[in-house]
């Protein structure tokens, strides 16, 4: 039988099959995901256009009273979908747990959303994409004789999702675009690479962010040539918003994803309701932020998006839940049940994670420092949820002396420590707020989903090396 090419026509069939499954199990749901996109890349040596052909699939989920079971398929004809759904329900129906607590399907709702998109990526030709990337690459490449390679990337992704359970029938269309610069400079002192860019929810109306920053990116890369390593030790740190974002992501990412609580693999479980940061520090995970790359209207388990306050005035008040961990732990459900694709399991995952702004002016935060370091250009980080230690790495540390930036640079720089120790030392929170969308996040070494991270400038104490 022919496949259903119009993705929206799946709704009625998924509703029918979910109803059939409910005759065998206490809870059933279906999620359909369709994605397509394109990536244009131009460097000093080569150009490429990489389309992402449309991919689509459906995952069916059942709950037996004590456990979730799933089956998925990318065959979207009615016979294949019915066979997958009925086979799962029959198998799970033999494993019911009558003593189990019922799963709350949420409020009854039928609704459709579309992320605002003024310039739809699907209307752009391949030539138009390549021309924009080429112009951006040229704007970067002309900044000095030390540039060995300049790269510009323009990419887009359009996702359509349908979620159906006993009381919900939800649809969302999400568009995202990326604009990225990367520069490599070199001289007799060595080689240095830096990158910058933007990822936003919406369409190609978001382009134009990188071009004004091209000259500054090249100049910063040259300034880092020959930079030595920092002297290791505890010191005062002022982090720019991107560094603050990486700290937010690593400190309260996997450490407060509550599926890790079930496995006793996250120290955050021991700190629920306790102080983990200074009283001027608050942190949110919020999938409703307008225009952000990890913004959506419902998660992959049908929970409606809403702001989730993780830290309120220094107290750890909530974690990030998926359906199973919320059910088992008795926690309030948050919209953090996310999948890499229709082929993957849903886990508790971050969305847009950031420190809330405070009242301090960033210039004043630096002016009050007798001796310390200003951090820019974060590169990567990792977290040990069980021990709640973090390691964050970046490419720019500038010495502060007597309240002034000295121009004395160190690279690379690594920040380490125990999360509550670092965050309780925060004594100034900037009045600014910036969120970066270039990042992705894996669960362990896999399960990649889109995240954003950010915050204001922060001032704190930490160990640098």
Mean pLDDT score across all residues of the chain: 95
* pLDDT tens track for 84-98: 999 999 999 999 999
Dump pLDDT digits (tens) for 266-276.
899 999 999 99
Provide, rounded to the nearest whole percent, the portion of the chain with pLDDT above 70. 99
CA 140 vs CA 10, 74, 82, 136, 333: distances in Å = 45, 42, 53, 7, 46
pLDDT one-digit tens code per residue, 127-184:
999 999 999 999 999 998 999 999 999 999 999 999 999 999 999 999 999 999 999 9
- 253, pLDDT greater than 80: no
52 pLDDT exceeds 90? no
Q: What is the pLDDT of residue 2?
A: 59
Sign of the alpha-carbon dihedral angle for 445, 447, 453, 458: negative
In this structure, the strands spanning 233-239 and 371-384 are: parallel
For residue 20, what pLDDT is reported?
97
Tokens matching residue 318:
């909530």
Lowest mean pLDDT among 153-157, 293-297, 383-387: 383-387
Q: Which two tokens stand for residue 15?
A: 């509703």
Residue pLDDT, tens place only, 417-433: 999 999 999 999 999 99
> In this predicted structure, what is the pLDDT of residue 9?
83
pLDDT band at 385 (very low <50, low <70, confident <90, very high): confident
- Please give the average per-residue pLDDT across 363-377, as a whole number: 98
Residue 4 confidence (pLDDT): 64
Domain ranges of the chain: 7-38+52-113, 114-160+172-224, 233-464
Is residue 413 within 8 A of residue 230, CB to CB? The reply is yes
What number does CATH give the domain 7-38+52-113? 3.30.2290.10
Mapping DSSP onto H, E and C, the string for the chain reads: CCCCCCHHHHHHHHHHHHHHHCCCCCEEEEEEEEEEEEEEEECCCCEEEEEEEEEEEEEEEEECCCCEEEEEECCCCHHHHHHHHHHHHHHHHCCCCCCCCCCCCCCCEEEEEECCCCCCHHHCCHHHHHHHHHHHHHHHHCCCCCEEEEEEEEEEEEEEEEEECCCEEEEEEEEEEEEEEEEEEEECCEEEEEEEEEEEECCHHHCCCCHHHHHHHHHHHHHHCCCECCCCEEEEEEECHHHHHHHHHHHCCHHHECHHHHCCCCHHHHHCCCECCCCCCCEEECCCCCCECCCCCECCCCCECCCEEEEECCEECCCECCHHHHHHHCCCCCCCEECCCCCCCCEECCCEEEECCCCECHHHHHHCCCEEEEEEEEEEEEEECCCCEEEEEEEEEEEEECCEEEEEEECCEEEEEEHHHHHHCCCEEECCCEEECCCEEEECCEEEEECEEEECCEEEEEEEC
pLDDT attached to residue 254: 79
Q: What is the CATH number of domain 114-160+172-224?
A: 3.30.160
Instruction: With beta carbons less than 8 A apart as the criterion, state whether 426 and 277 touch.
Output: yes
Question: At residue 70, does pLDDT exceed 70?
Answer: yes
Write out the two tokens for 264: 């006793």
């Amino acid at each position: 039988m022919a496949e259903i090419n119009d993705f929206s026509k799946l709704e009625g069939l998924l509703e029918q099959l979910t109803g059939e499954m409910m005759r065998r199990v206490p809870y059933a749901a279906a999620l359909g995901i369709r994605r397509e996109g394109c990536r244009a890349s131009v460097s000093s040596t080569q150009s490429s256009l990489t389309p992402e052909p449309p991919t689509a699939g459906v995952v069916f989920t059942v709950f037996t009273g004590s456990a979730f079971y799933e089956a998925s398929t990318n065959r979207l004809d009615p016979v294949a979908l019915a066979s997958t759904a009925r086979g799962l329900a029959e198998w799970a129906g033999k494993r019911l747990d009558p003593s189990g607590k019922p799963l709350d399907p949420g409020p009854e709702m039928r609704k459709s959303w579309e992320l605002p998109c003024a310039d739809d990526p699907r209307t752009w030709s391949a030539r138009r994409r390549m021309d924009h990337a080429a112009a951006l690459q040229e704007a970067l490449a002309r900044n000095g004789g030390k540039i060995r390679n300049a790269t510009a990337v323009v990419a887009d992704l359009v996702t359509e999702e349908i979620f159906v359970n006993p009381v919900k029938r939800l649809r969302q269309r999400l568009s995202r675009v990326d604009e990225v610069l990367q520069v490599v400079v070199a001289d007799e002192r060595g080689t240095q690479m830096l990158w910058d860019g933007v990822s936003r929810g919406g369409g190609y109306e978001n382009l134009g962010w990188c071009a004004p920053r091209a000259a500054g990116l090249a100049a910063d890369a040259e300034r880092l040539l020959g930079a030595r390593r920092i002297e290791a030790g505890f010191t005062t740190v002022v982090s720019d918003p991107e560094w603050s974002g990486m700290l937010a992501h690593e400190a309260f990412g996997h450490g407060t994803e509550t599926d890790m609580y079930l496995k006793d693999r996250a120290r955050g479980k021991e700190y629920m309701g306790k102080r983990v940061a200074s009283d001027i520090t608050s942190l949110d995970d919020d999938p409703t932020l307008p225009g952000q790359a990890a913004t959506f209207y419902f998660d992959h388990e049908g929970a409606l998006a809403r702001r989730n306050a993780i830290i309120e005035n220094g107290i750890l008040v909530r974690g990030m839940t998926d359906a199973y961990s919320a059910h088992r732990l008795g926690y309030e459900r948050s919209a953090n049940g996310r999948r890499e694709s229709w082929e993957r399991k849903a886990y508790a995952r971050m969305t847009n994670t950031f420190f809330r702004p405070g009242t301090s002016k960033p210039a004043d935060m630096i002016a009050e420092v007798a001796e310390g370091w200003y951090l820019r250009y974060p590169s990567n980080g990792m977290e040990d949820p069980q021990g709640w230690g973090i390691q964050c790495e970046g490419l720019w540390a500038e010495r502060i002396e007597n309240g002034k930036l000295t121009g004395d640079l160190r690279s690379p720089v690594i920040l380490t420590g125990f999360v509550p120790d670092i965050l309780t030392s925060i004594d100034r929170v900037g009045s600014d707020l910036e969120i970066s969308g270039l990042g992705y996040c894996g669960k362990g070494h896999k399960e990649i989903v889109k995240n954003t991270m950010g915050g204001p400038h922060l001032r704190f104490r930490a160990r640098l090396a």
